[in-house]
Amino acid sequence: MLLINLKAYKRTIGRGAIEVLEAAERVSEETGIEIGIAPQPTDIYLLSKNAKRVKIFAQHIDPVRNEASTGHILPEAVKEAGAVGTLLNHSERPMTLIEIGEAIEIAKKIGLITVVCVNNDKLAKVIACLSPDYIAVEPPELIGTGISVSKAKPEIVKNSVKSVKSVNEKVKVLVGAGISNKEDVKKALELGADGVLLASAVTKANNFYEKIRELAEGFFYK
């Protein structure tokens, strides 16, 4: 899977988010690659109504125990708006261990795919015990740098894949941080990853379609 995180980029909200979606739909149709987009919560409904093959993810959900939780993101609301899954514990939105455990549990119950982000291979193994659908390994020091983890720290990718699979074979591993071109994707897959998680390579691209198409081509060598 190629998962595109739109973060809080102003360029890719509303109409901009739709443009990323249209580009992703076209690439997905042309290449058959599974693509996901994680927009701002306010854009989940808009994108979901317009998505065909592309899957829409939330960037975060709160494990709401009490409905009197103003300003928290209700997992059921995210699902209702059309999201099929959610990121959790992104290094820009760290969660407590308790929250991660509860959020995975709620997500499973209501049918949301979970993509739990971790900083390193050690925490990847830890989270594997909670059996999320995906674990995304993103060394925070590389996020947004354009220096891909698959090149700079290949051992983190290898170790993550190995230790996650040793705990639970079904948990898939995404690789993030600094993924910016076809080569980075290819290398990540060669190291055993099941896909990539990225943001600025797409959100700052001159041409959304061309960049997503290039990244998707990284999967062809698999």
Detail the residues annotated as belonging to a binding site for substrate.
5-7, 143, 178, 199-200
Q: Are 104 and 130 in contact (CB under 8 A)?
A: yes
Cα atoms found within 13 Å of the Cα of residue 210, Cβ hemisphere only = 4
Nearer to a copy of itself, 144 or 192 (CB): 144
CB 156 within 8 A of CB 139: yes
**183 touches a copy of itself (CB under 8 A):** no
Is residue 27 within 8 A of residue 53, CB to CB? The reply is no
Q: Is 72 a catalytic residue?
A: no
Q: Which residue has the tokens 């990540």?
A: 188
Question: Given the complex with a copy of itself, which of 31 and 120 has the nearer CB atom?
Answer: 120
Taking the least distance from each CB to a copy of itself, the nearer of 159 and 186 is 159
Closer Cβ to a copy of itself, 189 or 203, answer by number: 203
Q: Is 138 a catalytic residue?
A: yes
CB of 61 to a copy of itself, least distance (A): 9
Per CB under 8 A, 166 contacts a copy of itself? no
- Asked if 64 interacts with a copy of itself (CB under 8 A), we say yes
- The reply to whether 165 sits near a copy of itself by the rule CB under 8 A is no
- Contact flag: residue 46 with a copy of itself (CB under 8 A): yes
The values of phi and psi at residue 57, to 5°, are -115, 150
In the block, residue with structure tokens 């909670």: 130
- For residue 40, what is the enclosing H or E element? none
Q: What are phi and psi of 172, to 5 degrees?
A: -90, 150
Task: Catalytic residue, from 29, 138, 141, 183: name it.
Answer: 138
- The Cα–Cα gap between 6 and 20 comes to 9
User: Applying CB under 8 A, does 93 fall inside the site for a copy of itself?
Assistant: yes
- Cβ-in-10-Å burial (0-12, 13-18, 19+) of 59 comes to buried
Could you count the other beta carbons within 10 Å of the beta carbon of residue 126?
17
Q: Cβ 221 to a copy of itself, closest distance in Å?
A: 29
> Can residue 55 be called a binding residue for a copy of itself (CB under 8 A)?
no
Interface with a copy of itself (CB under 8 A) = 5, 7-10, 13-14, 38, 40-46, 59-60, 62, 64, 66-74, 76-78, 80-81, 83, 87, 89-101, 118-120, 122-123, 125-127, 129-130, 143-144, 199-200
